[in-house]
Amino acid sequence: MLLSRNIRLAVSSLRSSKWRSYLTMLGIIIGVASVVVTVSIGEGVKKQVVKQINELGPELITVRPGTTVQRDENGNIVGVNLLAGINPGSFSEKEWTAITETSGVQSTSPLNVVSGVPRYQDKTMPNSIVVGTTDNFAALIGQELDYGAFFSDNDKNENTVVIGKRVADELFGELAPIGKSIQVRGHTLIVKGIFKQFPSTPLVASNDYNSTIFMPYEVSKKVSSGQVQIYQILAKAKDEKTANSAAANIRSNLTKLHGGEEDFTVLKQDENLAVVSNMLNLLTAFIAGVAAISLLVGGIGVMNIMLVLVSERTREIGVRKAVGATNKQILTQFLVESSVLCVVGGLLGIILSVIANYLIRVFTDLQPVITIPIILISVGIALIVGIIFGTTPAVIAARKDPIESLRYE
């Protein structure tokens, strides 16, 4: 009862000096909006990645050079090494053969990086990736083509390429540039097919197949003058049940091959998921933490204005005390006021972030997602900021001497 009265009082007090209230709220609005936007972008990216990984199927095993994860004796992931992606090295054909011969593995497909920038007439695409892979790649990852066909066993020595959607768009500027030719390291390759849009995974550049140019493995060796740099080997287990044992076998075989050193990472799809979401969570938390600093600054602004308000209303405090308000009641009044200020700011911040997210969806590939927990948490944080930064001014108000307050001009 008293709370609702206090809230009404606080709202009328905030409305009595609108500009000041808005400016004070601005700090909270920006703080909450930036936190909500970063968290929702992280959430959106995670959703996209999860979708992509799930589409690949549970029996797919990914083998990469470099130690991305730490495992305990039972093979459970206990930690993720974020820096492993910087200089992972590469596999050679040795490892590929070893994995192919591992029991439980049905088929494999390497991704051999060709260092070169594709050129079409006078246009280049420096942010694309050129890889060589085997003809079973498309089937392995279960991706269909929009136009044309993936190279088969028959044309594994032909100079053909299959390209991602974005390559078609950026390099050729058309939907289906089939039959057109591109130049890579002085070799001319003819476009044979265009993949359907892969579920795009922003922030994880190495996985963006939309801007990748695929050529037959043998051709890629020729193009890069015999050099082999396999950055990922995909292996498919016979079925979902054997995936675990197949992954374990790959691990032991490769460890043997590398002289007992486990300088590679074998990930099943579910583990892949765990690693990616772990990384994304960390990244999101970090950015959101930076954004939260603006919330802190906003909170200081609230505290500042509450101090002004308390001294401005010294006389009112005196009158209220004279007619029988206890210190606690005065404290509550001002605490409610700062909380209302922050919560209203928080709500406006959420509205702002919804608008910002809409713009992000329109102008970028990111698909931020605002969930109910994000809204509740951000309103909660705003409330906490209001209480934390409102406490000192409220205590000052509550401790004022009634006689001096009544004399205050």
Partner 1 sequence: MPVIELKDVSKLYGFGDATTVALDEVNFSVEKGEFVAIMGPSGSGKSTLLNIIGLLDKPTHGTYDLGGRRVERMRANRRSKIRRDTIGFIFQSFNLLPRLNVLENVALPLAYKGKTQTKRLKQAGAILEEVGLADREYFMPKQLSGGQTQRVAIARALVNNPKIIIADEPTGNLDSASSLVIMELLDKIHRDGNTILMVTHNPELTKYASRVVFMHDGSIVADEMSKFGEIPGFIKRRMYSVKIKTQEDKLKGVSAVMKAIPDKNTKNDDSSNKKQKKPIKKYKRKNKAKK
Is the CB of 1 or the CB of 372 nearer to partner 1? 1
For the bound state, the minimum distance from the C-beta of residue 19 to partner 1, rounded and expressed in Å, comes to 17
Residues 6+ positions from 84 with CB-CB distance below 8 Å: 66, 67, 68, 265
Least Cβ distance, residue 333 to partner 1 (angstroms): 10
Q: Is 20 in the site for partner 1 (CB under 8 A)?
A: no
Residues 238-267 that bind partner 1 (CB under 8 A): none
> Is 3 near partner 1 (CB under 8 A)?
no
Q: With respect to partner 1, which residue has the nearer C-beta, 171 or 309?
A: 309
Rounded Cα–Cα distance for residues 357 and 335 (Å): 32
Which tokens go with 83?
Answer: 């820096």
Binding flag, residue 19, partner 1 (CB under 8 A): no
Binding residue for partner 1, selected from 316, 354, 392, 395, defined by CB under 8 A: 316
* E-only strand ranges, 8-153: 60-65, 69-71, 77-80, 105-114, 119-120, 123-124, 129-133, 145-148
Match 């608008």 to its residue by tokens: 355
> What residues form DSSP beta bridges with 160?
190
Six-digit token pair at 71?
A: 């495992």
Query: Which residue of 127, 326, 364, 371 would you call a contact of partner 1, by CB under 8 A?
Result: 326
Q: Which of 285, 319, 352, 396 binds partner 1 (CB under 8 A)?
A: 319
Look up residue 211 and give its DSSP letter. Answer: G
Between 354 and 373, how does the x/- string for binding to partner 1 read (CB under 8 A)? --------------------
Q: Say which residue the tokens 């006021």 belong to.
A: 337
Q: What is d(CA 341, CA 252) in angstroms, rounded to the nearest whole number?
A: 61
Q: Does 323 bind partner 1 (CB under 8 A)?
A: yes
Closer of 316 and 365 to partner 1 (Cβ):
316
Only one of the segments 47-55, 73-81, 209-217, 314-322 lies at the binding site for partner 1 (rule: CB under 8 A); that segment is 314-322
Q: How do strand 187-195 and strand 160-163 relate by DSSP bridges?
A: parallel
Does position 2 bind partner 1 by CB under 8 A? yes
Nearest to 284 by CA among 79, 47, 42: 42
Binding site for partner 1 (CB under 8 A): 1-2, 5, 12-13, 16, 315-316, 318-329, 402-403, 406
